Amino acid sequence: MIYIVLLFVLFLIGIPICFSLGMVSVAGIIQGGTPLIVVIQRMFTGADSTALIAIPLFILAGGLMVQGGISRRIVDFADALIGHFPSGLALVSILACMFFAAITGSAIAATAAIGGIMIPIMREKNYEDTFSAPLIACGGSIGPIIPPSIPLLLYGTMAGVSVGKLFIGGFIPGIIMGLGLMIYSYYVGKKRHYVGREKKASREERIRTGKDALLALIMPIIIIGGILSGIFTATESGAIACAYAIIIGGFVYRELKPSKMFDLFVDCAKSTGQVLIVVSCASLFTWVITVAQVPQTVSALLSSTVSNKYVLLMIINVILLIAGTFIDTTSALVIFTPLFLPLVKAMGIDLIHFGLVMAVNLTIGMCTPPLGVCLFVSGSIAKVSLKDQMRDLLPMLAVLLIVLLVITYIPQTVTFLPNLFA
């Protein structure tokens, strides 16, 4: 257990995640008298996975979709559908985040793309920036839940479960998260007299905006359908997503310019490097704690005190919610998955269900201080501080926590669709 304690000490004093993992791992290897060549071997092995090829592909596909004019068309379609309701622009923002999540699978991309469009419009309609910024940050957190999803891809690789089933299992939780935030936004909008568009969109406008957004919105259907039918694997689906994004953005919408491609590739390479160095160091750390029998010790400790799987899930939820406030989603996944997996299996908890519980927990952390990366993105767009966002952020987080409890204790919200399509 000393390894876990030391790791969190390094986190708290501000050492980057990957270096913290590496330092603790090397210390454990030296203490155990293992040759240091193991460091290179385990780090290489951790990144040497076919499934992980999908990570840069999905990151690139998300960038291509953003640059290809997808976000504006999605917002226009969402506005035509529900923009006329009280608090209409808030509802449009959440729906647009849900649509965008089904295309990019990234919380940060959804927050930046939708926030960049909606926050200035909401400001013009007298929505408070201190409401708009946390709302879009929380809406962006749906990104990694509705497929495609990089966190679910990582979890599936580590846990040895079907990525396709994880993707399908994310639909209902993601929709529930969106609906919860929309209900809260409607309630607040009625009290504060937030309005949307002046009149309901005509049938012709809905059809027109729907046609504009349709080609973007069918991408997740192509990806999930291809995986389920066996036409291509979850890894290959990333390449399909990139090709589709280039065709739609470059040749149909004609907004994806060759001049933008180089910067996209550079950003994709940087993001991929950040993810894979963490995965590599986490693979080394996992090997060290496995040799030291830390997962077995944690499992035995919890098994001796917890005999009910529902109590266990509550304990795991609390641990992950706390960890998510200061550890990014990727790092938390690669640290906690090997720790909890033996006990989850022993308790007979469905691994697809558990994967979504972990993902929802950690994405809530993306809009929870102090790390709350989505809050910083939306706050920078709205030019409001984290402190100013807290008044409206807290009830939004309460909504997401209620959704988390529903997903945790009603497994069918996750397992229904995977079992249906099995």
- Residue pair 412/200 in contact (Cβ under 8 Å)? The answer is no
Number of domains in the chain: 1
- Residue pair 158/282 in contact (Cβ under 8 Å)? The answer is no
Does any domain span residue 281? no
* pTM reported for the whole predicted model: 0.81
Long-range contacts of 76-81 (CB under 8 A, 24+ apart): 76/209, 76/212, 76/213, 77/206, 77/209, 77/210, 77/212, 77/213, 77/217, 79/196, 79/197, 79/201, 79/209, 80/201, 80/205, 80/206, 80/209, 80/210, 81/201, 81/206
- DSSP H helical segments within 125-257, as ranges? 129-140, 150-159, 163-169, 171-192, 203-217, 219-229, 234-246
Please give the helix or strand (H or E) that residue 11 lies within, else none.
Answer: helix 2-12
Does any domain span residue 25? no
- Residue pair 338/378 in contact (Cβ under 8 Å)? The answer is no
Whether the bond into 370 is cis, omega within 30 of 0: yes
- Residue pair 39/284 in contact (Cβ under 8 Å)? The answer is yes
Range(s) of the domain holding residue 412: 49-256+292-421
Does any domain span residue 188? yes
Does any domain span residue 31? no
Using alpha carbons only, give the angle 360, 417, 144 rounded to the nearest 5 degrees: 30
Does any domain span residue 176? yes
C-alpha 153/C-alpha 88 separation (Å) is 34
Spell out the per-residue pLDDT of the chain, length 422, in tens.
677 778 778 877 778 777 888 888 888 888 888 888 989 888 888 778 777 787 788 778 877 877 887 778 888 999 999 888 888 999 999 999 898 887 777 788 788 888 888 899 899 889 999 999 999 999 999 988 998 888 898 899 889 898 889 999 999 999 999 999 999 999 999 889 888 787 888 989 999 999 888 887 887 788 878 877 778 877 788 888 888 888 888 888 888 888 878 888 888 888 788 778 877 887 888 788 778 777 677 777 777 778 788 999 999 999 888 888 777 787 788 888 888 888 899 889 999 999 999 999 999 988 888 767 888 889 888 989 888 899 999 999 999 999 999 999 999 999 999 998 86
- Residue 247 corresponds to which tokens in the numbers above? 């065709």
- Residue pair 76/209 in contact (Cβ under 8 Å)? The answer is yes
Does any domain span residue 65? yes
Angle between helices 294-305 and 258-291 (to 10 degrees): 70
Q: If we measure between CA atoms, which residue out of 374, 421, 387 comes closest to residue 142?
A: 374
pLDDT at 136: 94
pLDDT at 128: 93
- Residue 419 corresponds to which tokens in the numbers above? 């079992």
Q: How many Cβ atoms are within 10 Å of 207's Cβ, its own excluded? A: 12
pLDDT at 361: 93
Look up tokens 């939780």; give the residue. 173
pLDDT at 1: 61
C-alpha 193/C-alpha 153 separation (Å) is 42
Using alpha carbons only, give the angle 395, 66, 202 rounded to the nearest 5 degrees: 75
Does any domain span residue 330? yes
Amino acid at residue number 49 = S
Q: How many Cβ atoms are within 10 Å of 82's Cβ, its own excluded? A: 21
Widest pairwise Cα distance in the chain:
73
Does any domain span residue 243? yes
- Residue 17 corresponds to which tokens in the numbers above? 């995640």
pLDDT at 405: 96
